[in-house]
Amino acid sequence: MFRSWRKTTAAVAAFVACVWSFQAHAGDAVAADPEVVEKNRKANEACFACHSEFGFKNPPRTDMDMKKLAETLYDPKVFAGSNHGTMDCRQCHGQGYNDYPHSETGKSETSPCSECHATKVARLEPQYDASVHARLESVKAKFTCATCHDPHIDLGATLLKDPLKIAVQDNKACLECHDSDEVFAKYAADDDKTPGIKKKRPNIDTIHEWLPNTKRHWQTVRCVECHTPEVKANRPLSHEILDKEKAEKNCLSCHSANSSLKTRLYRHLVKDEQDRLGFTNSIILSSSYVIGATRHPLLDKIVIGLVALTLGGVLLHGAIRIVFAIRRKGKKQ
Amino acid sequence: MSDRIYLLPLWIRLWHWTNALLIITLAVTGISLHFADPKLPLVEFALAARIHDIAGLALVALYVLFVIANIVTGNWWQYVPKPPGVLERCVKQGRWYMVGIFKGEPHPYRVSEEANFNAMQAIAYWVIMYVVMPVMLITGLLFLYPEFAPDRFFGFDGLLPVAILHYLTGAVIIMFMIAHIYLGTTGKTATSMFKTMFTGWYEQH
């Protein structure tokens, strides 16, 4: 009784919202105006009436493919906090999704990233095309920008700020494939040696077994730190995923005072570096103690001084003992 | 002719030299890790990390054995400076290191089966083995298994206090080791105490 009542209300709400949003025009690409943001949020409620946990549990209709719906659920709060959270879903998805069942052509009408990010795509695409993932036609064909970037969830590094959260977000993209046989098989090409059989996914921790505590590294540092070419400070990371032979294996690239983390994971924070409490790379230390990188030069000097003093002390003591022993011998004679 | 006593049972000597070997290994690799710099290659970073982890775990195991053996054999009693007059004996011992040793005066206290260490030694060894070592080993384990370390520490990563304590206790042990090796030359002859550590037999002055 209660359930069906809720269903009806949800359906009515969805219908009202759908009609309302249909009248509203999709906003501009740069949606910063609070009024537009609010309008878009309201419009999106129509989609979330189905495409959210709530919508799935309280489906407004009974004639839906629930299995498919289950794979297309988003959290309205997460979406609102993402890069595109202020936008109307239909700015990317077109008008084909206003009604259910959705129009057949809906999928092909999804705006490509380049529609709004033309300059960025122009910069990224050549790097992306040089990647290992574009090396094989069959793999490349299945790879899109959205394979790594979920446009409904991700938040750019400068807004996300916390390096540990950035690491989780960016590594999730790679690990979704490289840590799952099922997903990897969907993309992998046939093995060179055994045509007809897909290339087997190498275990991610076994490949990197030369790296101590791999799990800890995956939480605190990104795959792209080692798997993309070096770039100048203040420049965005390259989108070229290098061949495994060219990947960074030198621990000191991160574990030294002049850590490359400053131009990579911590790039957006280095301008705030203040050497807090006298630590070098204190901005890194706020998130991670990185052996060799997050040092205290004064403390190091004091410790080296004390060790040197101990060494000097015993050498001096020894020298005096020898001098006295020689004098005593001389006296005896 | 010479006045010899059998001072150190085999297990103590085995423990001592294993301990020494592990500590030297840990010191060299530890320095390589802490002062990691492309211009200053002591032991290569990845190799140093690997050796340091293995030697560190071995030292933890050895330390546990050491504590158990000390309890079982009653050897722990050696580390307790016996009152009365601990302070006076320390002062006398200190004066001997600073003055008496140069004049060729005899050691102020005789070594015996009952008392291997002078009061100053007992205190120093006690502090090193039962205060500094546990702190170093526990922080080392936390470093190896950082999921057990605190998450945050006054706006810094929770590993910071762990790392600093590990670094400082490591430095104290290196300083102790330097002094300890040097004081090993103050026996009857410069090498007699080292011989004791191998044979177990102690030469009285």
SS3 for B201? Answer: strand
Token representation of residue A197: 């059989």
| CA atoms of A30 and A117, how far apart (whole Å) | 11
Mean pLDDT over all residues of chain A?
A: 88
Within 8 A by CB and 6+ apart from A13, the residues are A45, A49, A60
Say if residue A50's pLDDT is above 70: yes
Residues B172-198: what's their mean pLDDT?
94
Token representation of residue B155: 């706006």
What Rg do the C-alpha atoms of chain B give, in angstroms? 19
Ranges of each domain in chain A: 1-111, 115-295, 298-333
Most A-contacting residue of B28, B29, B32, B37 (CB-CB within 10 A), to test interface: B37
Q: In B, which residues are within 8 Å of A328 by CB distance?
A: 103-104
Residues A255-277: what's their mean pLDDT?
91
What's residue B2's pLDDT? Answer: 59
Say if residue A300's pLDDT is above 50: yes
Of A282, A286, A314, the CB nearest to B182: A314
Of A251, A307, A324, the CB nearest to B103: A324
Instruction: Indicate the Cα dihedral angle A54, A60, A63, A69, nearest 10°.
Output: -30
- Which domains are assigned to chain B? 4-203 (1.20.950.20)
Mean pLDDT over all residues of chain B?
A: 93
Q: Do B36 and A252 touch (CB under 8 A)?
A: yes
Distance of CA A146 to the CA centre of its chain: 13
Of A257, A306, A328, the CB nearest to B104: A328
Closest residue, chain A, to B171 (C-alpha) = A303
Residues A139-150: what's their mean pLDDT?
92
Calculate how close chain A gets to B39, using CA atoms only, in Å: 10
Closest residue, chain A, to B180 (C-alpha) = A314
Q: What is the pTM of this model?
A: 0.89
Q: In A, which residues are within 8 Å of B104 by CB distance?
A: 324-325, 328
Task: Tell whether A319 lies on the interface with B, counting CB pairs under 8 A.
Answer: no
- Report DSSP letters for A247-270, one per residue: S---GGGTSSTT-GGGGTTTTTTG
Q: Pinpoint the alpha helices (H) of A108-200.
A: 118-129, 137-142, 145-148, 157-160, 163-178, 181-187
Q: Do A289 and B163 touch (CB under 8 A)?
A: yes
Of A216, A285, A313, the CB nearest to B156: A285
Under the banding of pLDDT at 50, 70 and 90, the label for residue A28 is very low
Within 8 A by CB and 6+ apart from A125, the residues are none
Kindly provide the residue ranges of all beta strands, DSSP E only, lying in A2-47, ordered along the sequence.
none
For the ranges A17-21, A23-27, B196-200, the lowest mean pLDDT is seen at A23-27
Distance of CA A329 to the CA centre of its chain: 75
Residues B197-202: what's their mean pLDDT?
92
Q: In A, which residues are within 8 Å of B50 by CB distance?
A: 212
List residues bridging with B6 in a β-sheet. B201
| CA atoms of B138 and A167, how far apart (whole Å) | 28
CB atoms closer than 10 angstroms to residue A55: 22
Phi first, then psi, for residue B203 (nearest 5°) are -95, 120
Q: Do A325 and B104 touch (CB under 8 A)?
A: yes
Say if residue A31's pLDDT is above 80: no
- Cβ atoms of B75 and B122 within 8 Å: the answer is no
N-term to C-term CA, chain B: 12
- Cβ atoms of B160 and A285 within 8 Å: the answer is yes
ipTM of the complex: 0.92
